[in-house]
Amino acid sequence: DTGVSQDPRHKITKRGQNVTFRCDPISEHNRLYWYRQTLGQGPEFLTYFQNEAQLEKSRLLSDRFSAERPKGSFSTLEIQRTEQGDSAMYLCASSPTSGRGNEQFFGPGTRLTVL
């Protein structure tokens, strides 16, 4: 399977703990996106990477959130001091910069539950 993968698929944590999620995009894709999806809503954009550079960050990405994409390959999203309001599905997507560059391919998501 050469699609976008995310790990873990599910994470349960206690309020105040730190969590880290990983996304492995499709190998030739330069663009990588993180979204957050809460129950009954569409995904909301969090941040965008082109290669290793983080070029856009949404206002939703508070100071407790940090994302990296070292070497322009996989990406990590860390949430520090988790709150119950952070409970959501975190989706990663990737796309190429040429060809159908505006089509985003989504991973299965990481479902976070903060108790």
Interface residues with another protein (CB under 8 A) are 3-4, 31, 33, 35, 40-46, 48, 50, 55-56, 58, 91, 95, 97, 101-109
Q: Report the nearest approach of another protein to the CB of residue 32 (Å).
A: 10
Q: Which is nearer to another protein, 12 or 55 (CB)?
A: 55
Half-sphere exposure of residue 88, counting CA atoms within 13 Å on the CB side?
21
**Shortest Å distance, C-beta 34 to another protein:** 9
How far apart are CB 31 and another protein at their closest, in Å? 6
Task: Please choose, from the candidates 57, 86, 54, 55, the residue with its C-alpha nearest in 3D space to the C-alpha of residue 68.
Answer: 54
Q: Which residue, 4 or 114, is less far from another protein as judged by CB?
A: 4
Nearer to another protein, 55 or 81 (CB): 55
Q: Which DSSP letter does residue 98 get?
A: S
- The one-letter code for the residue type at 77 is L
d(CA 26, CA 38): 25
Q: Identify the three-state secondary structure at position 9.
A: coil
- Cβ proximity to another protein: between 84 and 98 the closer is 98
Q: Phi/psi of residue 33, each to 5°? A: -130, 150
Q: Name the minimum Å distance from CB 77 to another protein.
A: 14
Q: Which amino acid is at 40?
A: G
